[in-house]
């Protein structure tokens, strides 16, 4: 007797897709916070970082404020949260000062968890039916916003734990395995006119548009990022004491802050160690270098006789490389050494491991117009005094990335998983 024929499966509706994605992203955030105590989650180690409790609340505030607020069937969980967990949206109203987020002992963690559950219940009810296009777009923006905060949870906890002399461990078990070192090669790209920026279906932030045409001169990219071992040679050659290698603003920062090595490095009996989410360990010479500021990346490139790539050069190379690598889903939470070389003329570790600084100012693309309303503050108002990074890190969710994605930070920022891939000009 033949087995019964399987019934054809109905196609998943957009509403079900969005509801499933909502639940998945929200669960991931809670999972990242799970190893932490209430005390861990309440502390703020510096003004640029935020307590994990605040991240849990702010990502919930985003959905409450921009999706649920004003709906006839929704009442705010606590009106005070509108101010406490607003980040920088002036159009929404008052904000608690960013440097003082660590002073918010109340609401306690239990209340923040109850807030998340309350908003999740309302969002799941909303997502039982198809949303109008504007609401669906806001929910998708909120999910991508929460993924950004998932990475911030990890980088902020790492900085927090690094300030504790006991060197606490976020996740036990060192993930690295010994590998044979691989020499970096140069991969050349032809120049010419090309189109850049996001176009077509799928989510993208407003700063990735509009698609526009630009000219690239012929260039070459290094086949892999700069490693800890290579950067240690720069340090050993007096790189932090040689002003000729640095931009003037960068060397001013080096002197004012007493930098003589990358963030988290310590010299221990002649051996460099670094702090990781797995505790303090000796640096692995073959892992991509991370926690570099733009200034340090630029100085290293000059020392190495190269330069940083532009963001459009990076985007041109990334189109040909599938989005796969050491990202959040790998669980390593640290850059990993290159185990096997990529196929010929394909850059390795372009996705994940470390965000790669570019030489490009974070500026609007030609024809860019910020969206109307408070959500127009999301990206546009930061287009001054920052530089673009590309490619994601070991703390970035894979579904968050695409070749046009533009991350950005101030040039003295070091607490992110930021590194460097070298570039150089080639003759036409």
Question: What confidence tens digit (pLDDT) does each residue in 261-296 have?
Answer: 999 999 988 899 999 999 999 999 999 999 999 999
Q: Are 326 and 275 in contact (CB under 8 A)?
A: no
* Cα–Cα dist 49/47, whole Å: 5
Domain boundary among 127, 162, 197: 162
Domain boundary among 130, 162, 194: 162
* Cα–Cα dist 2/269, whole Å: 73
* Cα–Cα dist 133/210, whole Å: 20
Residue 16 pLDDT: 67
CA distances from 323 to 228, 334, 391, 403 (A): 24, 18, 9, 8
* Cα–Cα dist 9/28, whole Å: 28
Can you state the angle between helices 52-63 and 133-162, rounded to 10 degrees? 170
Nearest to 208 by CA among 216, 219, 197: 197
Is the confidence at residue 2, as pLDDT, over 90? Answer: no
Residue 183 pLDDT: 82
DSSP string for residues in 302-349: HHTT-BPPPHHHHHHHHTTS-S-SB-GGG---S-----SPPSTT--TT
Same domain, 107 and 198: no
Same domain, 119 and 190: no
In a domain, 322, yes or no: yes
pTM exceeding the 0.85 threshold for the entire prediction: yes
Total domains in the fold of the chain: 2
For residue 170, the tally of other CB atoms under 10 A from its CB is: 18
More confident residue, 2 or 148: 148
Same domain, 40 and 141: yes
Same domain, 158 and 231: no
Same domain, 302 and 218: yes
| Chain segment 124-175, per-residue pLDDT in tens | 999 999 999 999 999 999 999 999 999 999 999 999 999 999 999 999 887 7
In a domain, 167, yes or no: no
Nearest to 412 by CA among 244, 273, 298: 298
In a domain, 337, yes or no: yes
* Residue numbers of the domain that contains 364: 186-425
Residue 14 pLDDT: 62
In degrees, rounded to 5, the angle at the alpha carbon of residue 263 between the alpha carbons of residues 395 and 87 is 55
């Amino acid at each position: 007797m033949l087995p019964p024929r399987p019934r054809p499966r109905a196609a998943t509706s957009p509403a079900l897709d969005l509801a499933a994605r909502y639940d998945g992203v929200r669960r991931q955030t809670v999972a990242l916070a799970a190893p932490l105590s209430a005390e861990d989650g309440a502390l703020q180690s510096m003004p640029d970082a935020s307590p994990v409790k605040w991240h849990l609340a702010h990502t919930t505030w985003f959905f409450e404020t921009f999706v649920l607020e004003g709906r006839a069937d929704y009442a705010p969980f606590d009106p005070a949260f509108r101010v406490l967990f607003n980040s920088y949206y002036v159009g929404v109203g008052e904000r608690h000062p960013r440097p003082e987020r660590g002073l918010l002992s109340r609401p306690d963690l239990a209340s923040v968890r109850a807030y998340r559950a309350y908003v999740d219940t309302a969002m799941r009810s909303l997502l039982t039916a198809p949303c109008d296009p504007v609401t669906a777009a806001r929910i998708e923006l909120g999910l991508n916003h929460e993924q950004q905060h998932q990475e911030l949870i990890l980088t902020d906890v790492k900085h927090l734990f690094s300030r504790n002399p006991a060197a606490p461990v976020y996740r036990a078990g060192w993930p690295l395995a010994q590998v044979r070192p691989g020499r970096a090669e140069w991969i050349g790209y032809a120049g010419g006119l090309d189109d850049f920026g996001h176009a077509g279906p799928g989510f993208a932030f407003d700063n990735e548009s509009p698609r526009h045409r630009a000219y690239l001169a012929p260039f070459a990219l290094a086949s892999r990022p700069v490693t800890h071992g290579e950067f240690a040679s720069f340090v050993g050659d007096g790189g932090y004491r040689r002003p000729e290698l640095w931009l003037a603003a960068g060397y001013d920062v080096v002197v004012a802050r007493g930098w003589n090595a990358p963030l988290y490095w310590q010299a221990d009996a002649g051996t460099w160690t670094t702090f990781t989410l797995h505790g303090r360990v000796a640096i692995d010479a073959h892992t991509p270098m991370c926690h570099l500021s733009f200034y340090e990346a630029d100085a290293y490139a000059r020392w190495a006789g190269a330069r940083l790539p532009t963001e459009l050069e990076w985007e041109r190379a990334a189109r040909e490389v599938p989005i796969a690598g050491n990202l959040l889903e790998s669980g390593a939470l640290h850059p990993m050494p290159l185990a096997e070389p990529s196929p010929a003329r394909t850059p390795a570790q372009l996705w994940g491991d470390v965000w790669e600084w570019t030489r490009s100012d974070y500026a609007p693309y030609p024809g860019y117009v910020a969206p109307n309303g408070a959500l127009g503050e999301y990206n546009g108002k930061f287009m001054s005094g920052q530089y673009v990074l590309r490619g994601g890190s070991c703390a970035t969710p894979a579904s968050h990335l695409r070749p046009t994605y533009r991350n950005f930070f101030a040039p003295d920022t070091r607490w992110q998983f930021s590194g460097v891939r070298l570039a150089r000009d080639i003759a036409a």
